[in-house]
Amino acid sequence: EAGVVQSPRYKIIEKKQPVAFWCNPISGHNTLYWYLQNLGQGPELLIRYENEEAVDDSQLPKDRFSAERLKGVDSTLKIQPAELGDSAVYLCASSPRGGQTYTGELFFGEGSRLTVL
């Protein structure tokens, strides 16, 4: 079974440029998360999807960040325009969440490391 796939693994851009990250979750996982991980820190939730619906986007900086999961499968996270402080690793995770199947376990991708110059 394939794991969570993210691309690109690494991205270097200049400030004020746009950037997008893509995530394909494990097949059958209806819940998808985007996390931000700063250097030396734990992951912080940006947004959580249940199928196509964003059920928790309270920590997403909506002035420059946007996300979509149009068909309830893969997802894209976009930053426009990027700032120096956005340099971090963006992690995608999925889980077979909901109802009787909730275990709390997250399955993570390898992350997309963003460097803003």
Partner 1 sequence: AQSVTQLGSHVSVSEGALVLLRCNYSSSVPPYLFWYVQYPNQGLQLLLKYTSAATLVKGINGFEAEFKKSETSFHLTKPSAHMSDAAEYFCAVSGSSSASKIIFGSGTRLSIRP
- Checking 64-71 for CB contacts under 8 A at 24+ apart, the result is 67/34, 69/32
Q: Is the CB of residue 72 less than 8 Å from the CB of residue 51?
A: yes
Q: Compute CA distances 97 → 6, 29, 73, 106, 107, whole Å.
A: 20, 7, 14, 9, 11
**Under the criterion CB under 8 A, does residue 28 sit at the interface with partner 1?**
no
**Under the criterion CB under 8 A, does residue 115 sit at the interface with partner 1?**
no
Quick note: the x/- pattern for partner 1 over 50-79, rule CB under 8 A, is -----xx-----------------------
> How many residues form the binding site for partner 1 (CB under 8 A)?
25
Q: Looking at 15, 16, 44, 80, which residue binds partner 1 (CB under 8 A)?
A: 44
Footprint on this chain of partner 1 (rule: CB under 8 A)? 4, 40-45, 55-56, 91, 93, 97-99, 102-111, 113
